[in-house]
Structure 1
Amino acid sequence: MREVGGSAIRTGLAGFVVGAGVCYCVYRVVSKTRRNNGGVVAAAPPAAETERERAPQGSREAPGSSERHGVFPSPPQRDSASLREGCVDLPNSSHDLKACHIQNLIHLLESTEDPSVQEQILITLSNSAAFSVNQDLIRNLGGLSVVGKMLSVPDIDVKEKALNTLNNLSMNIKNQEVLKVYITRVCEEIDSSPLNSELQLAGLRFLTNMSVTNNYHCMMTSSIPCFLHLLSKENERTQVQVLKVLVNLSANTAMTKDLLNAQAPFLLSLLDGSINKEVLLRVLLFATNLTKNMKKEKNTTVSQYNEDSIFSVLWGNSTLCAQKLAALLYHHDTEIREQVAELIMQQG
């Protein structure tokens, strides 16, 4: 049995602050940050990240939305009998869709079995759902479950477009209360999809949004080994998406034990100056979050950790980890240096 926090942190992490040189580097990084920010240490990157599927080019951007790309698709072929009178033609922009347009699209999506039509409708709904007002509208029109059913369609492209739509819809907290039923299914799709496939990445973006709050973390616990397996693959695009989910999970103290017990013998290899910045920064933030949680849970005891567990990899071999962190204090990127300093200071 090991005690998480207190002596465990001091024992496993004592090597992080080794030698006067490292101490001085931490002091210098923090001092420089304070000077540049009027005496206030710069905040670490946000613990929770969100993802928005990018919307059509040339459309008006929704408040608070992220970078967008793509082209608004041509309206799918429609049976005129299925469209409500007085609202037949789709506008040229997803932002200009009215409630009747969206209702017609949802109805057609529910009734058609043509994958090409399903795909086009989902693209249109996804672009529409990039705007917050339409996220509520689609929920109120019963569209969440209709889109969710598309995850059961055998066609891979339809599944991908359905996940892109669910991703944008999941930017809405009320929608998340409905969409939580798809978390397990999406985790299964991520696990079974080819590495770095659009379907896999779309699933990870959806989970990133669903993990912004702590509400649904417990539904992802069993998929932690899958996330770490994907992280071990040398594909930066996938690694970044996986780490967004892991960082969100690590911000929840209740997830600490499951994360620390997970097997990740490769993790130290990612603490290297040659690693992509977006990957490295999130690995450091992931470790920082776990360290903070361990300090909060200082009176909690857990089972003996396996030698390949995250706890043992990061804190069992403190000398090697300390050497890697000391080297990263000289990294050319300021954000990296600041995050390393923050991690080291958490060990005090």
Structure 2
Amino acid sequence: MRESGGSSVSVRTGLVAGLVAGLAVGAGLCYCVYRASRRRRGREGGPKRGDVRPGQEHQAAAPTLLQKVSAMPVISSPGRKGPENLRREDVDLPKSSHDLEAHHIQNLIRLLDSTKDPTIQEQALVTLSNSAAFSANQDIIRNLGGLIVVGKMLSVPDTKVKEKALNALNNLSMNIKNQEEMKIYITIVCEETDSSPLNSELQLAGLRFLTNMSVTNDYHYMMTSFIPCFLHMLLEGNERTQVQVLKVLVNLSANPAMTEHLLNAQAPFLLSLFDACINKEVLLRVLVFATNLIKLTQKDKSITVHHHNEGSIFSVLWGNTTECAQKLTSLLYHHDTEVKEQVAELIMQRC
């Protein structure tokens, strides 16, 4: 029957329409499940190691690392990828790093070695520097190859990065084993210190490193050619610079092998520092410096001194004995007991 025939076609058409609608609903549900699954995976820990493209491992690890050593979470700006593109406000490395563990230090070293962003370099160096204030971490950083990585930062053109690298090397140099590996940086740091702006933080950081490296006599020979530079900083520098450079000079003056080099160096201004108006920290170290040299001169008669070299430290200390004696006698009335005691010792050594 047509009617029957017409009724059968209508049923088939309805079945097909229902099937299509069902497929559409099913596809929609699958898509929703897929989206929900993606969101859940993101909340549970983000991409797995296998999700990282080759060559991007350090980029994916950087936010995690910085979160571990940061007091605040790291938020990457849209369109930015990798540690090189993190803004200054994106990371907040702590000033106190005593709670860093070895794997945190290792990751920081890797980050420092891989990034070219001065902001990240600077903050990683600050964290490593603070961490290196603890003796156990000094060994950890050395064993993880961190000395070389930090030393490479001395060649970075950014002044702040170099300053922070020198601060880190300074803390790391409080370790004899570290010094053995870090001696390769002495000449570089001497050159950097000499060429840095006078009284700058970069210059002071370099002098602090050289102070630590000159505590023993082992590496003094590497600083010999820079004695005129140190004396120039002593003459032209402010009190902070004078105190720091005198720490280096006092260390050098305690080494008999350096006496000849120091006595023959030009420093006609030296006697002008023997004055009660001079800052006590500067004055005291100048007196110790002179006492060391005179003591070693008296002890070792084989020291070759160019007596005709006018303006040398030798001529200042021994040439014009009347002026030097008057200066020292005046300082015997200094208000500070420590200064008076050092003056008395110097006078005794000259007799």
Tell me whether 1:230 sits opposite 2:233 in the alignment: yes
Structure 2: where are the runs of 5+ without partners? Answer: 1-57, 72-95
- Which residue does the alignment assign to 1:176? 179
Mark the CA change 1:246 to 1:305 in structure 2 (over 3 Å): closer, same or farther: farther
For residues 347 and 308 of structure 1, the distance between their equivalents in structure 2, rounded to whole angstroms, comes to: 19
Maintained 8 Å contact 2:112/2:124: yes
1:247, CA displacement in angstroms? Answer: 0.2
| C-alpha displacement of 1:304 | 3.3
Match of 2:69 among 90, 105, 109: 90
Q: Deviations over 1:127-186 (max 9, x none)?
A: 000111100110000000000000000000000000000000001111000010000000
Q: Greater CA radius of gyration, 1 or 2?
A: 2
Answering whether residue 333 of structure 2 is matched by residue 333 of structure 1, we say no
Separation in 2, partners of 1:333, 1:145:
45
Residue pair 2:198, 2:237 contacting (<8 A) in 1 also: no
2:264 is the counterpart of 1:276: no
**Contact preservation (8 Å) 1:126, 1:165:** yes
Quote how far apart the aligned CAs of 1:347 are.
2.2
Q: How far apart are the structure 1 equivalents of 2:172 and 2:308?
A: 39
Equivalent residues in 2 for 1:77-116 (5 A)? 79-81=59-61, 89-90=68-69, 93-116=96-119
Pairs within 5 Å for 1:188-207: 188-207=191-210
Q: Which residue of 1 is the match for residue 82 of structure 2?
A: none
Q: 1:143 to 1:343 in 2, by over 3 A?
A: same
Partner-residue secondary structure (3-state), 1:94: coil
TM superposition shift of 1:81: 3.0
Residue 84 of structure 1 deviates from its aligned partner by 8.9
Does the aligned pair in 2 maintain the 1:88–1:101 contact within 8 Å?
no
Which amino acid is the alignment partner of residue 61 of structure 2? Answer: A
CA shift digits 1:295-325 (9 cap, x unpaired): 1212344433411100001210000000000
Equivalent AA in structure 2 for residue 286 of structure 1? F
**Contact conserved, 1:83 with 1:104, CA < 8 A, in 2?**
no
For these two proteins, the number of residue pairs brought into alignment is 270
Aligned counterparts of 2:104 and 2:63: Cα–Cα separation in 1: 8
Q: Distance in 2 between matches of 1:305 and 1:123?
A: 49
What's the CA shift for 1:91?
Answer: 6.2
- Aligned-residue identity in percent: 76
1:346 deviates by: 1.3
Q: Distance in 1 between matches of 2:192 and 2:350?
A: 38
CA contact (8 A) 1:305 1:311 kept: no
TM-score, normalising length: structure 2: 0.74
- Say which SS state the counterpart of residue 278 (structure 1) adopts: helix
RMSD, aligned α-carbons? 1.7
Which residue of 317, 336, 343 corresponds with 1:314? 317
Q: Which residue of 232, 235, 247 maps to 2:250? A: 247
| Contact 1:166–1:206 (CA under 8 A) maintained in structure 2 | yes
2-structure distance, mates of 1:168, 1:263: 32
Give the conservation status (yes or no) of the 8 Å contact 2:307–2:315.
no
Matched with 1:130 is 133
Distance in 2 of aligned mates of 1:257 and 1:124: 42
Preserved CA contact (<8 Å) 1:225 1:263: yes
Q: Which amino acid aligns with 1:253?
A: P
Question: Which letter does structure 1 place at the counterpart of 2:176?
Answer: I
d(CA) in 1 for partners of 2:150 and 2:303?
A: 43
1:292 is displaced (CA, Å) by 1.0
Matched, 1:261 2:264: yes
- Structure with the higher helix share, 1 or 2: 2
> CA 1:310–1:195 in 2, change beyond 3 Å: closer, same or farther?
same
Q: Compute the displacement of 1:227 (Å).
A: 0.3
Residue equivalent to 1:4? none
CA distance in 1, matches of 2:226, 2:124: 31
Please state if 1:213 is matched with 2:193.
Answer: no
Tell me how far apart the structure 1 counterparts of residues 288 and 331 of structure 2 sit (CA, whole Å).
Answer: 14
- TM value normalised by structure 1: 0.75
Tell me how far apart the structure 2 counterparts of residues 82 and 310 of structure 1 sit (CA, whole Å): 54
Counterpart of 2:199 in 1: which secondary structure?
A: coil
